[in-house]
Structure 1
């Protein structure tokens, strides 16, 4: 796996985070390279004057944030893992930290934006959210350039740039990536709308709020529903919804374990805020006071033997890449944080072989139930 990005007379050592000893994927892609080369070939740094700055949206692991080390810039992402990667890669490459402001996607965009570099996200909903916020902060002479893999750029992608920014065109493809150029139309007036969606879970009569970048934002995730319907029996007092998304599994735990404290954890700022909104909206204050909401890389940094039940619907991708690294990390962290006798209960697609992974970590694993698509697995930490 290549860790050295050599581009435009710079050499950067870049790691993905969390770092995997057997990592086979590099921390940048050809879309990062295309953006950097275009910026440098067209001397866009010369466009930045006075307090004007560069805005970077959706940087994956810090290739863009680290490369433009000498330029005053703000990087915005919804991913805690991306922010952590950027910070670590900045330190690794001895970048000037005072030149970079890191923000999550729910914070306000900066003023004085002159150049915008965007990595195309997986979903149009999140792209629309970013473009809507951007539209109110740019002027006619702002330069807006986006990049993504060819298979991620569709007519609907370009239509969003046309809707919020202005006339849009694309470049030729290089290394299976393409650039998008949008000319800012200062006269364009787009009515602001709430990109978030809300729908109801009839069984519980819950109204579920979903920010733009929340997994399964348009409907109830069937894996999450299966886990909600198969929570373990028991008298649990400290529960975790690990990788909580919009919070439905943790909310089911709040409802079933009436004396329990439930901690909702996700690496997406939008997911954790959606879980917070949903819990406050659907539970009485006395019960919602027993809920805690944390943006974090799983259970990293949490105390050993501190929980008696961890519920998890693990992701099998990181950004655009299918991987079991996140699930492995979650399972190992869960073992560390469970009390003796504590339980990890997960839902997963049948083909993902989580049973073998849990057996290797816990020494055993029980199949609780299954259907044609999912399995519910339970592993108990023995003393």
Structure 2
């Protein structure tokens, strides 16, 4: 394995002891696919789900060019770009959405297995529909995140699914013979008059999680003529409800996940509010100017990839505080055991409890 991969970093995502940019599963995928990739020309390798660039840059270091890449997380795209610049490989790949252009004619796919079976089916469907008939898919992951159901999902779209030997608690599924391909469409369900649409892998799928339900029960009205922001919007439920309840408001729904952005747009369309809900893909609220918002709603995640961490929410609080005008409010719902109130007080300003149930707390923090 090329030692250059040891130089990879996670930034702009969290960097901390125990959080790595390349792992044993990345290395195993590259090793298992190496002999097949040797015979390929430019534009015949596709990479899906590359966390921070290990698969893309590992293939590039071995000679692959015109690599097509899809990463759900915007932080992953930016980490790949930074790592590619560090290794002088920025011209070896291009980032694309999960659609026909990504996989059309590709002969080898290097993929990290997603934890969501629906997401895996969406990816497999696109590959089966548009990749070359002779495509070979090398889909790997850590054993603790893999299940036999993943083999079954791939078998719906591929005639042959083989399993490699495990190495360093990692394994690769090798799929060949694509069939029954399709372009994914969102799944939709209606709850209390609100239609929720989700592509595979969206948080909570087409349901409304307990924390978001608590937020919706107490959701404040946006100030007149001012945009409210649904930060880390997921499927865009909060944005859709805001726009539905308050027809004169305009809402921004923001998330770094491509799946979340596509889901939120579908949710807005399904509820007839897509003309008043602007959905954007952004890392935190990086594209929003300082002091430009009066109201932000947030249900912060507590994981970075597969790693559980309490370091994400404080970064989100800080960026929300930057974007809020003095006197603006951040409404945050959080698992009560996490004890975020002191962090909200320090970072945003005076914080009051709005509501609480058996598991979650909803607070409103006023920007100093």
**TM-score (structure 1 length as normaliser):** 0.88
Gaps (5+ residues) in structure 1?
1-6
Q: Which region of structure 1 is more displaced relative to structure 2, 132-141 or 334-343? A: 132-141
Aligned equivalent of 1:60:
51
Closer, same or farther in 2 for the Cα pair 1:192/1:112, shift >3 Å? Answer: closer
Aligned equivalent of 1:362:
348
Aligned equivalent of 2:38:
46
Q: The residue matched to 2:280 in structure 1 has which SS? A: strand
Contact 2:126–2:181 (Cα < 8 Å) also in 1 = no
Alignment of 1:237-248 (within 5 A): 237-248=226-237
Contact 1:115–1:143 (Cα < 8 Å) also in 2 = yes
Separation of aligned partners in 2, 1:35 and 1:254: 45
Alignment of 1:35-184 (within 5 A): 35-40=29-34, 43-49=35-41, 51-69=42-60, 70-72=63-65, 73-95=67-89, 97-106=90-99, 108-182=101-175, 184=176
The alignment status of 1:349 with 2:341, answered yes or no, reads no
Which of 10, 34, 37 in structure 1 is aligned with 2:28? 34
Which of 177, 202, 206 in structure 1 is aligned with 2:194? 206
1:23 to partner: Cα distance: 5.2
CA deviations on 1:171-226 (whole Å, 9 max, x unpaired) are 222111111122x226xx42647553111122xx2322211121111322221111
RMSD: 2.1
Q: Which region of structure 1 is more displaced relative to structure 2, 223-232 or 102-111? A: 102-111
Aligned equivalent of 1:3:
none
1:342 to partner: Cα distance: 0.3
The alignment status of 1:230 with 2:222, answered yes or no, reads no
Contact 2:72–2:259 (Cα < 8 Å) also in 1 = yes
Separation of aligned partners in 1, 2:33 and 2:271: 48
Which of 327, 330, 335 in structure 1 is aligned with 2:316? 330
CA deviations on 1:12-49 (whole Å, 9 max, x unpaired) are 42121324465541112210011123334xx3332203
Contact 1:106–1:270 (Cα < 8 Å) also in 2 = no
Q: The residue matched to 1:144 in structure 2 has which SS? A: strand
Q: The residue matched to 2:91 in structure 1 has which SS? A: helix
Contact 2:124–2:181 (Cα < 8 Å) also in 1 = no
Which of 235, 243, 251 in structure 2 is aligned with 1:262? 251
Which of 279, 288, 294 in structure 2 is aligned with 1:302? 288
Number of aligned residues? 364
Aligned equivalent of 2:305:
319
Which of 243, 267, 290 in structure 2 is aligned with 1:278? 267
